[in-house]
Amino acid sequence: MKLTTPPLAPNTLQTLQKLGIATLADLRAQGAAASFLLLKAAGLTLTRSTLWQLAALEQHTTPQALGEAEKAALLEAVRTHPPVAVFPPQAEMEHFMRAALAQAAQSAAMGEIPVGAVVVHRGNIIAAAHNTCVADHNISHHAEIRALAAAGAALQNYRLDQCDVYITLEPCSMCSSALMQARVRRVVYGAAEPKSGAAGSVVNLFAEPRLNPHSAVKGGILAAECRALLQDFFRQRRQK
């Protein structure tokens, strides 16, 4: 069933459609709290009534039927929700992920675990890096840490709140913490890391409210290509 106006305001409905939330199934998959936050991230000025409308649609009821306890729970869900952002179009994200993949290939050629990262500021790559832990004898020289350092030098500011970071592999706890400390706006990664991923696979530090998170996260961009590069690397290592 498609979302309509009424009950939603025309600008709310139009923005939801641009965000890919056009049907009741889309709304339920996203959730009322996340949809409300996405609308705010898209630039709409909203009141609580919009949140009540979204929740009522999700529950197939009316805003008037929502009790005070339900409304309080919704407000708490919004307050504690992980950071939300409107991400770039798929083609744009894939473009920058390919740049990160090129960096990862450099790591593979050096015998390093192939992970690459690029930092994007206002549509331009301002830093690119890959793993050099083995070559530098430094466990902190993951692609993300090196890319953040280069971006900070380029902007003369360690806070990168206007930047996006593209990484071929889900960041570990060390790198996830650094990305949050840098106030990175959006983190986009390729392949999931089931053994040490800290963006949802093992733990999700970006969703931990006690850490005062700032970065919205999206995974799965060119995941197959990112995963294949890693698999080829470890296959060749086992053969040797």
Beta bridge partners of 191: 169
Q: Considering Cα of 70, then 73, then 75, then 78, what sign does the dihedral take?
A: negative
Helices (H), the chain: 10-18, 24-30, 32-41, 48-59, 68-80, 90-109, 133-136, 143-155, 173-181, 223-239
CA distance 133 to 116: 12
Query: Is 175 annotated in some ligand binding site?
Result: yes
Cβ–Cβ < 8 Å for 107, 114: yes
Six-digit token string for 8:
């939603």
CA distance 209 to 81: 8
Query: Is 142 annotated in some ligand binding site?
Result: yes
Question: Can 144 be counted among the known catalytic residues?
Answer: yes
Indicate the length of the chain as a whole number: 240
Residue in 58, 76, 144, 193 annotated catalytic: 144
What is the full DSSP assignment across 60-74?
TS-GGG--HHHHHHH
Closest CA to 89 of 198, 188, 183: 188
Residue ranges for the known binding site for Zn(2+) are: 142, 172, 175
Residue ranges for the known binding site are: 142, 172, 175
Query: Active-site residues: which are they?
Result: 144
